[in-house]
Chain A
Amino acid sequence: MNENRKYPFSEIDPDICKGCGLCVAACPRGVLVVSEKLNSKGFHYSEYVGEGCIGCGNCFYTCPEPSAVTVYLRNYVPEEVS
């Protein structure tokens, strides 16, 4: 993981994402977009644009795929998760 990333941020697994777009619609900051690219299953996956996330968790809670979205919140300390 990129150590210089600013928390909070949302991380979407491009291969697990099914491209339903629910997270994009649910993001209050408009910082998630549908990629032009296709993943290995042929879905236009969603991506975080890289800044502007406020860690609201909407994308996590609206995503139907259990492991597609991870949101690292403001108070996240990288060592915590092993």
Chain B
Amino acid sequence: MIMAQKTVLRKPLGFIDVYKHKPGAEKDRTHYCPGCGHGILHKLIAEALEDFDIVDRTIVISPVGCSVFAYYYFHTGNLQVPHGRAPAVATSVSRANPDSIVISYQGDGDLAAIGGNNILQAANRGENMVVFFVNNAIYGMTGGQMAPTTLEGQKTTTTPYGRNVKTDGYPIQVCEIINQLTAPVYVVRTSLHDMPNIRKTRAAVRKAIQNTRDKKGFSFVEVLSMCPSGWKMDSVPAQKWIEENMIPRFPLDTFRDISEDTSAIERPVPVMDPEEVKRILEYTALSDSNLEKNPDAAFDRVAVRIAGFGGQGIMSTGIALANVGMEYGYNVSWLPSYGPEMRGGTANCSVKIQADTIGASECTEPNMVIAMNQPSLEKFEKILVPGGALIYNTTLIDIEPSRTDLKVYPIPITGIADELGDTRVQSMVNVGAFAAVTGMFDPGEIENLMPSLFKGKSGEVMKLNEKAVRKGYEYVKENFS
């Protein structure tokens, strides 16, 4: 129908006019080999985007593989993502902006090998996206190695005697697997091996993109495609090769099409109710504490990196600071980062406490570092902003900080805790020191918050921790005022 209205068939507007992102002089042509099926499928997609007038609403996710540079060509929003992860990134794009039309464009190595789980999970969730799966039975970009879809007996650089199912397994039929899941609305396999099938592919491309536009959910279009270079043959014989060798293993079929009977998906709208968050975090009892922020505080916002050995109270310092910050009505975040060993190794966490909205929760440019051991001092001193505060544990660190543009607070943190009779209270010594350095928290108020910070703990434990806060606070006041 739409064909009949066209008066000229020319480069579709879904493509960028001049491929300005492509390096080198050849900005008027693609990087694909002669006769490569990618270009044909690109054209069908670009044409559909123009015809449906949705170029501006579309985001194409480029994979790793020969189509890694798809973003050179499509006049859409573009993202290029790690190998096999396109469906995960497409999920986040689609969820963050449900009106966008998200296209995950993937090859067989990307989708069926390393990305095998990603595609299944996205399909299973019925994400509103279209996946174009280019199956050319080989790793093209890396020079023709065996792919999950390589045919039995097919020679590749890594199967020089042909794929042997006894050692290499069978070619994976991805449509058939996707079709086992409940959520997908459209699952189809087409081919580029002759004109009738290119036209069928065109129809499938259009239907899948319309499904996404109409928010029907997950559409999956597998396209058998020529890789003349990888197969070491000319383009027209490559089309014949699809017909004779691929189609018997990968039958062309519409495995599922329930798009007509499917209405637009409606997902529960995420609610961000601060009261509900407090309830989930069990803060109801204190939600009316309404502590006054100190207008004369030396800091009005803190991005602190707390680091040391596992077991030095790194994480509990962070959690306590974030909790107290929350009671003062700040936005807070706490992001732990462990070494692979969890215990005994090094650990650090990022805490942000600020009045405005927090973006990234990792403190890459902290204005405070609390270093509990020497490796942490050496590592995190470097990333402090000029003028930032460096609190470090002189019980375990016998070197001096090397920077001179910082405010330094050498404190025997572990020693103070030991004197109180329990090394574990180092984290509350830190909290006290933090309160003194920043002026953001009042130590008396922190004492009032003890029941919530140490829920279920005995009065003795709370008393000890109160003392630790006091000691940390007083040490700073006495030594650095």
Contacts and interface: CB of A to CB of B under 8 A. Distances in A.
B195 A61 contact: yes
Contacts of A58: 195
A75 B7 CA distance: 6
Contacts of A57: 3, 9
B44 interface: yes
B236 A21 contact: yes
Contacts of B3: 57
Interface stretch (B10-18, B272-280, B388-396): B10-18
Nearest to A59: B9
B11 A19 contact: no
B202 A66 contact: no
B106 to A, nearest CB: 18
A71 B6 CA distance: 10
A18 B39 CA distance: 12
Contacts of A26: 194-195
A65 interface: yes
B232 to A, nearest CB: 15
B451 interface: no
B199 A61 contact: yes
A43 B9 contact: no
A64 B7 contact: no
B43 A22 contact: no
Contacts of A65: 29-30, 32, 39
B33 to A, nearest CB: 8
**How many of chain A's residues touch chain B, expressed as a range?**
20 to 34
Nearest to B41: A64
B9 A70 contact: yes
| Dominant secondary structure of chain A at its interface with chain B | loop
A80 interface: yes
A26 B228 CA distance: 17
Nearest to A64: B39
B37 interface: yes
Contacts of B422: none
B375 interface: no
A72 interface: yes
A33 interface: no
B29 A67 contact: yes
A81 B235 contact: no
Interface in B213-268: 228, 234-236, 239
A25 to B, nearest CB: 5
A70 B9 CA distance: 5
A54 interface: no
A73 interface: yes
A63 interface: yes
Given A58-B195, A65-B29, A80 B202 contact: no
Interface in A21-52: 21-22, 25-26, 43
A26 B39 CA distance: 16
B239 A22 contact: yes
Given A63-B40, A72-B8, 11 more contacts: A18-B34, A62-B40, A64-B39, A66-B39, A66-B73, A67-B11, A67-B15, A67-B28, A67-B29, A69-B9, A70-B9
A-B pairs, 10 with minimum CB distance: A64-B39, A20-B35, A18-B34, A20-B34, A60-B9, A20-B235, A71-B9, A67-B11, A76-B7, A70-B10
Interface of B: 3, 6-12, 15, 28-30, 32-40, 42-44, 46, 73, 194-195, 198-199, 202, 228, 234-236, 239
30 contacts: A20-B35, A21-B235, A21-B236, A22-B236, A22-B239, A25-B236, A26-B194, A60-B9, A60-B10, A62-B195, A63-B39, A64-B35, A64-B36, A64-B42, A64-B43, A65-B32, A66-B12, A66-B42, A66-B43, A67-B11, A67-B15, A67-B28, A67-B29, A69-B9, A70-B11, A71-B8, A71-B10, A76-B8, A81-B8, A81-B10
